[in-house]
């Protein structure tokens, strides 16, 4: 790679190059990467630019740094890593991932989804989409909305069949709501890929996946959205930081 000339910041171009090397196995888990000085010389960049590239890789979990020893490839390299601690974090998935609509919103009768949303009707709207990181799909998500919520977003270009955007579904939806989303009830279970999941994510039927169910409610406890996602574990790491109360 020569010194970057494109409009993208040089540190991001370098981070992408190093990320590619890690994913290709040039730097396996626990192997030290070249030093800032070595990379600056190799790519004709300043050490400050190299440092910013390292910081980006540290932030996404691709590498970790040990003071006085260097920068090392992480066991999470090659996976999409997102640390989540708030509803805002879920909305900010759009910062570095891409959503593609597989099935646009459609009205249907679904007793199970309506029951989980605590509706007094069995009529809901459903949309199905994937999310990708670096053009690799890592999750298939099905979302159900109550009809009054769906009517706020149905017809928008971002949710049409085949639409690709950097949005998140709740990020699109919440500005349209009369009341903001105040909580997300989440459950995580181990599962295997059924035929539909396998086809869309390109894995074998029966492949291990991580199932994440999220029920979004407003401040009155009214269900706004039910989302069920199937993540490929080889491309996704889910991290939660737990702290002692009062710390």
Q: Residue 215: which of 180, 185, 187 has the closest Cα?
A: 185
Residue 87 in this model has a pLDDT that exceeds 50: no
* Percent residues over pLDDT 90 in the chain: 47
Q: What integer pLDDT is reported at residue 111 of this predicted model?
A: 92
The model carries a pTM of: 0.65
> What is the Cα–Cα distance from 120 to 131, expressed in whole angstroms?
31
> What is the Cα–Cα distance from 60 to 6, expressed in whole angstroms?
23
Tens of pLDDT, residues 17-57:
998 888 777 887 778 899 999 999 999 999 999 998 988 88
The pair of structure tokens assigned to 147 is 């009809």
Give buried/exposed letters for 164-175 (b at 16+ CB in 10 A, else e). eeebbbbbbbbe
108 strand-pairing partners: 124
Question: Cβ(225)–Cβ(170) under 8 Å?
Answer: yes
> What is the Cα–Cα distance from 131 to 167, expressed in whole angstroms?
10
- Domains of the chain and CATH, by start: 10-73 (1.10.10.10), 80-239 (3.40.1410.10)
**pLDDT category of residue 97 using cuts at 50, 70 and 90:** confident
Rg (CA), the chain: 21
For the residues 221-239, what does the mean pLDDT come to? 86
> What is the Cα–Cα distance from 214 to 227, expressed in whole angstroms?
5
């Amino acid at each position: 790679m020569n010194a970057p000339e494109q409009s993208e910041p040089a540190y991001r171009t370098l981070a992408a190059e190093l990320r590619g090397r890690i994913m290709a196995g040039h730097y396996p888990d626990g192997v030290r990467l070249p030093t800032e000085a070595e990379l600056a010389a190799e790519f004709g960049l300043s050490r400050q630019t190299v440092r910013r590239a390292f910081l980006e890789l540290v932030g996404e979990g691709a590498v970790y740094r040990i003071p006085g020893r260097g920068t090392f490839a992480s066991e999470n390299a090659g996976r999409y890593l997102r640390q989540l601690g708030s509803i805002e974090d879920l909305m900010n998935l759009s910062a570095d991932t891409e959503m593609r609509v597989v099935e646009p919103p459609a009205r249907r009768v679904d007793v199970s989804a309506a029951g989980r949303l605590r509706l007094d009707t069995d009529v809901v709207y459903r949309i199905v989409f994937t999310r990708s990181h670096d053009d690799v799909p890592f999750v298939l998500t099905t979302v159900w909305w109550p009809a009054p919520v769906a009517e706020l977003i149905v017809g928008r270009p971002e949710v049409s069949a085949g639409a690709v955007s950097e949005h998140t579904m709740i990020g699109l939806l919440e500005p349209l709501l009369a009341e903001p989303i105040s909580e997300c009830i989440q459950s995580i279970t181990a599962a295997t890929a059924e035929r539909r999941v396998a086809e869309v994510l390109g894995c074998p039927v029966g492949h291990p996946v991580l199932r994440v169910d999220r029920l979004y409610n407003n401040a009155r406890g009214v269900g706004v959205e039910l989302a069920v996602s199937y993540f490929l574990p080889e491309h996704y790491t889910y991290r939660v930081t737990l702290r002692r109360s009062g710390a």
